[in-house]
């Protein structure tokens, strides 16, 4: 496989990136240097935007800057969403389905309640990781 590793970001990671910190700076640097391609879904952007507005309106500009580093894909109900319904809560089907639809090799999320059980699985076709775990493993391919 050629090209950068495709990494799908959940809404909570986009929000956290807008708040800042060294781990998020490293992720964005990996993207800017071409080591990874950051992708998310439209629903994740809407959710993250609502949370920034509600919780940290002072970080709106940073949030906008994060979005320039992301490819934003449309959400669709399709066979990928159907596959995801067997694995996650209905509220999170759009995240896992979209990650699979865009061919992500990694899904980064901070939601251990809904995605934690997938982080040890190797049979999904993509790795589900926290940002810390992803950075510790490095952007190697699955």
Q: Where are the alpha helices (DSSP H) in the chain?
A: 11-19, 22-32, 42-55, 60-67, 79-84, 93-101, 112-115, 131-137
Give the CATH fold of the 5-137 domain.
Rossmann fold (3.40.50)
* Portion of the chain with pLDDT greater than 90, in percent: 87
- Between these two residues, 3 and 24, which has the higher pLDDT value? 24
Cβ–Cβ under 8 Å, residues 1 and 141: yes
Q: CA–CA separation, 129 vs 76, rounded Å? A: 23
Cβ–Cβ under 8 Å, residues 132 and 32: no
Predicted pLDDT of residue 96? 96
68 has pLDDT over 90: yes
What is the residue extent of each domain of the chain? 5-137
Reported pTM: 0.94
Within its chain, how far is the Cα of 106 from the centroid?
A: 8
pLDDT (mean) for 6-32: 95
């Amino acid at each position: 496989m050629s090209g950068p590793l495709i990494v799908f970001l959940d809404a909570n990671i986009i929000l956290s990136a807008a708040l800042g910190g060294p781990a998020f700076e490293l992720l964005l640097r990996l993207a800017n240097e071409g080591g990874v391609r950051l992708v998310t879904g439209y629903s994740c952007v809407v959710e993250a935007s609502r949370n920034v507005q509600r919780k940290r309106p002072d970080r709106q500009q940073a949030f906008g800057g994060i979005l320039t580093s992301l490819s934003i894909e449309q959400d669709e109900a399709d066979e990928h969403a159907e596959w995801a319904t067997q694995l996650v809560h209905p509220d999170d089907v759009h995240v896992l389905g979209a990650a699979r639809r865009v061919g992500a090799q990694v899904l980064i999320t901070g939601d251990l309640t809904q995605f934690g059980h997938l982080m040890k699985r190797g049979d999904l076709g993509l790795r589900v990781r926290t940002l810390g775990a992803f950075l510790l493993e490095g952007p190697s391919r699955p």
